Structures are given as structure tokens and as C-alpha cells.
């Protein structure tokens, strides 16, 4: 079985027959997840050079399945280097040796809140109690050089959230992150790491890493064995906010990583909570700034539970139940025709390149200017993107590199 284009419902699709088709496919997918062969293809495509999440989903829509997209890669303007089957098999085997899971978007074990994010990771590696990622989650994040009081507060807050059935997620960094994991560990805590789930970082958190791998869960977008690098952290932060219903910033200096996570949270429509602190402590600056900009002032777990109340009701956390209909990570883009009309004519490609410039332009505007179908433009842009000639920007904008 292949995941057909139809399993990537365009959000606008609303006719009775489309709804029925979508429901049917979701039931099929959520009942058992991907076949082993499909899982391998998803892994290969997601790990292929130049294929980020947005491109991944675009390829899947364009070619109908990961296998078909892998077949097509060499024919595209500038072939993306696909991950070899052998490397993918090695990665899967390594995950299995850790008793871990490779979870693909849309599968029953894929966290439902994260599934709704436009650039959700197509595949996640999880070790530990993977079922924890299906419970309602709240992220507790903050400064690495946190004060003793800040760490104590984070630990107690996480413990209280845990007692209320919330799984506490954080980044397994020093300071607030570590304190939050510790506080929630016996109720359930999930670490989202920037490198591979098997890489301990920082070294001082080794014991906590081992405890989370056993009693909690550790989750990563990057392959096993990846040493975390500076550029990985912002991408990791989007998962911390995206997987949670809300994030709590405990202590954070101005311009700190926690504020990046808070910005992602706002973009993703998540609740942002901030713990006030004295203006005399620079570690309060970030959280106080968030409060000034409308974050919910947080002194106790009750402040969070009250605010999230409506979101916590009617959540289907038990592992056996499918995630609540996630919207497609493709967002409100034009639907690709199911037939996959072939439009890679040079003339059309030249026309699009002529209309593009280094200044980002809306895809809708491009469609209008080129007088091509939305589907044809989407396909051509995808090819140009894979060829490294087009760059995508937030808000469905594109520019020439």
C-alpha cells in the first residue's frame, strides 16, 4: 500500500465525497500506521539532501508516495541526493536496538498537536515511553544559568502539572529545562533534543538523559548519532512549542533561546505563559517582556490549567485513539490535482523564473501573473526548490536565490 495523495487532505476540501475519503484514509492510517517498506521510504526521503519538511510534504503530494518521490528525484532539475536504502535500513536497525520508534507524520503515535504544524518533522525518532507523546503536553523552558529559586520553581511547577495529567516537555538543557524534567519525571516527561536521541548533551545531564530514556521519553528530528550544533537548536525549539498546548517561560534573559521558542509558540497558535521576576535580575527580562506583550502571568500550575481548560477538555490522549484530525502541514496551499498533471515544460519554467526575483513574492500572485494553474505553478516551484534556485519564505512567499 502507498499513501496516496488523497491522504494529504487539502484543508479547503469540503465536499461530502472528499470528507468521506479523508475519513476513510485517516482511519486506515491511524489504525495501523505505515507498512515497513513505506516507513523505510519515508525515512529515506526525509533524510535526502535538500529535502526539508515543507519540500517533503510537497513531494509527497506531487508524486503520491515517498517511493514515487524517491524514484522521481533523479529526474528533477538538479537531482537531490537520496538517502540510500542501506543507510535507511541501518538507521532503522539502530533505532530498534535502542527499543526506539521511528514515527511518521499521520501515524497513530505521531503527536497530534505537532502534526498540525506546517513544517512538522516528517519522521521522529523516539526512545522511552513513546505513548507519553500522546498526552496533553506543556513545555517548561528557561535559562541555562537559572537561579536556584528559578530551578526550584520550575521543578515544583512541573511536578504540579504532572499531577494534573499534563506531560511536561522541555529541551534537556542545563538549568530550567533539567529542573522541569526532574520535577515531572515520575509522572511523565518528554525531552526534545537538538541532536540524536542517543547523544548525551550536555555531559552533566547524563543521569537525567538515562532516566528520561527509561521513565520518560526522548524525541528528536535528527538521526541517531547526530551531535547537536548551534543551527539545530532553533529547529528543535519549534518542536518543543509545536508539540505542546502551551509553553511556560520561567527565567529567560533578553534575546535568549527561550524567547525564540515563545515566538514559535505564538506563530503556531500556542498559549504562552511567563513567570514574573524582579527587574533587578537580568534573567527576568525575557519573561517580563513576554508579560508586557500579553503572555499569561503564571505563579502556579493553576494559572496554566485554567487557561488551557478548554483545550484539555475533549482531548483523546489514550494511545489507541487516533490523533484528532490534524490539518495538513501543507497549510492553505492550492490542492495538487490527484492525477498529477505533467507540466514541466521549459516554457512554463522559463516564465516562472522570469517573474521571480530575489524579492519574495506571493505564490498566488505568481499564479495570477503566469496565467498557469495553481497546481502547475506548485509543481514547477517544487522543481526549482529542489534545484536550489527558489527559496521559500513564511506566508507562502517565494524568491529567486
Q: Which residues lie near a second copy (CB under 8 A)?
A: 149, 152-153, 275-280, 284-285, 288, 291-292, 297-300
Beta-strand relationship, 397-400 and 390-393: antiparallel
E strands, 77-186, where? 101-104, 123-128, 137-141, 167-170
For the bound state, the minimum distance from the C-beta of residue 112 to a second copy, rounded and expressed in Å, comes to 31
Tell me which residue of 338, 385, 344, 340 sits closest to 363, measured CA to CA. Answer: 385
Alpha-carbon torsion 232, 8, 218, 153, what sign?
A: positive
Do 291 and 262 touch, CB atoms closer than 8 A? no
106 vs 56: CA distance, rounded Å:
14
For the bound state, the minimum distance from the C-beta of residue 171 to a second copy, rounded and expressed in Å, comes to 22
204 vs 185: CA distance, rounded Å:
17
Do 187 and 162 touch, CB atoms closer than 8 A? yes
Q: Of the two residues 92 and 180, which places its CB atom closer to a second copy in the complex?
A: 180
61 vs 101: CA distance, rounded Å:
25
For the bound state, the minimum distance from the C-beta of residue 254 to a second copy, rounded and expressed in Å, comes to 11
For the bound state, the minimum distance from the C-beta of residue 302 to a second copy, rounded and expressed in Å, comes to 11
For the bound state, the minimum distance from the C-beta of residue 152 to a second copy, rounded and expressed in Å, comes to 7
Q: Of the two residues 32 and 292, which places its CB atom closer to a second copy in the complex?
A: 292
Q: Of the two residues 22 and 285, which places its CB atom closer to a second copy in the complex?
A: 285
For the bound state, the minimum distance from the C-beta of residue 283 to a second copy, rounded and expressed in Å, comes to 11
312 vs 310: CA distance, rounded Å:
6
Residue 78 CB neighbours (<10 A): 11
332 vs 20: CA distance, rounded Å:
20
Q: Of the two residues 11 and 302, which places its CB atom closer to a second copy in the complex?
A: 302
Sheet with 246-249, strands from edge to edge, namely 101-104, 123-128, 217-220, 189-193, 167-170, 137-141, 246-249, 271-274, 296-297
Tell me which residue of 98, 111, 337 sits closest to 241, measured CA to CA. Answer: 111
Q: Of the two residues 272 and 363, which places its CB atom closer to a second copy in the complex?
A: 272
140 vs 130: CA distance, rounded Å:
19
Residue 156 CB neighbours (<10 A): 14
For the bound state, the minimum distance from the C-beta of residue 277 to a second copy, rounded and expressed in Å, comes to 5
For the bound state, the minimum distance from the C-beta of residue 140 to a second copy, rounded and expressed in Å, comes to 14
Q: Of the two residues 297 and 341, which places its CB atom closer to a second copy in the complex?
A: 297
Q: Of the two residues 138 and 366, which places its CB atom closer to a second copy in the complex?
A: 138
Q: Of the two residues 58 and 247, which places its CB atom closer to a second copy in the complex?
A: 247
Q: Of the two residues 275 and 335, which places its CB atom closer to a second copy in the complex?
A: 275
Q: Of the two residues 236 and 283, which places its CB atom closer to a second copy in the complex?
A: 283
For the bound state, the minimum distance from the C-beta of residue 289 to a second copy, rounded and expressed in Å, comes to 9
- Residue in the structure block whose three cell numbers are 530550567: 176
Element (H, E) at 271: strand 271-274
For the bound state, the minimum distance from the C-beta of residue 282 to a second copy, rounded and expressed in Å, comes to 11
Amino acid at each position: 500500500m502507498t499513501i496516496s495523495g488523497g491522504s494529504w487532505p487539502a484543508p479547503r476540501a469540503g465536499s461530502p465525497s472528499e470528507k468521506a475519503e479523508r475519513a476513510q484514509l485517516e482511519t486506515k492510517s491511524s489504525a495501523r500506521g505505515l507498512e515497513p517498506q513505506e516507513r523505510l521510504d519515508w525515512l529515506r526521503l526525509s533524510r535526502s539532501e535538500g529535502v526539508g519538511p515543507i519540500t517533503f510534504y510537497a513531494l509527497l503530494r506531487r508524486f503520491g508516495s515517498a517511493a514515487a518521490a524517491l524514484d522521481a528525484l533523479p529526474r528533477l532539475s538538479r537531482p537531490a541526493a537520496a538517502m540510500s536504502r542501506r543507510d535507511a535500513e541501518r538507521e532503522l536497525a539502530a533505532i530498534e536496538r535502542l527499543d526506539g520508534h521511528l514515527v511518521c507524520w499521520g501515524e497513530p503515535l505521531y503527536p497530534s498537536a505537532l502534526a498540525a504544524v506546517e513544517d512538522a518533522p516528517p519522521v521522529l525518532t523516539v526512545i522511552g515511553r513513546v505513548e507519553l507523546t500522546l498526552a496533553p503536553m506543556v513545555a517548561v523552558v528557561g535559562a541555562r544559568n537559572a537561579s536556584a529559586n528559578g530551578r526550584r520553581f520550575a521543578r515544583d511547577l512541573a511536578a504540579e502539572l504532572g499531577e494534573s495529567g499534563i506531560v511536561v516537555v522541555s529541551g534537556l538543557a542545563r538549568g530550567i529545562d533539567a529542573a522541569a524534567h526532574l520535577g515531572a519525571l515520575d509522572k511523565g516527561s518528554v525531552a526534545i533534543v537538538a541532536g540524536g536521541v542517543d547523544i548525551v548533551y550536555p555531559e552533566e545531564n547524563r543521569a537525567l538523559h538515562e532516566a528520561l530514556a527509561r521513565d520518560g521519553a526522548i524525541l528528536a528530528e535528527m538521526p541517531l548519532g547526530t551531535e547537536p550544533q548551534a543551527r539545530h537548536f532553533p529547529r528543535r525549539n519549534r518542536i518543543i512549542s509545536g508539540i505542546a498546548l502551551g509553553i511556560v517561560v520561567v527565567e529567560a534573559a533578553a534575546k535568549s533561546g527561550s524567547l525564540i521558542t515563545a515566538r514559535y509558540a505564538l506563530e503556531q497558535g500556542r498559549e504562552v505563559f511567563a513567570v514574573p521576576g524582579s527587574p533587578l535580575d537580568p534573567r527576568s527580562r525575557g519573561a517580563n517582556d513576554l508579560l508586557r506583550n500579553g503572555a499569561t502571568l503564571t505563579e502556579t500550575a493553576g494559572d496554566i490549567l485554567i487557561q488551557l481548560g478548554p483545550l484539555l477538555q475533549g482531548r483523546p490522549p489514550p494511545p489507541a485513539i487516533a490523533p484528532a484530525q490534524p490539518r495538513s502541514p501543507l497549510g492553505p496551499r492550492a490542492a495538487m490535482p490527484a492525477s498529477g498533471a505533467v507540466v514541466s515544460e521549459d516554457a512554463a519554467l522559463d516564465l516562472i523564473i522570469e517573474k521571480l526575483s530575489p524579492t519574495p513574492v506571493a505564490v498566488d500572485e505568481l499564479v495570477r501573473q503566469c496565467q498557469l494553474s495553481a497546481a502547475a505553478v506548485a509543481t514547477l516551484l517544487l522543481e526549482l526548490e529542489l534545484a536550489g534556485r527558489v527559496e521559500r519564505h513564511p506566508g507562502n512567499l517565494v524568491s529567486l536565490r
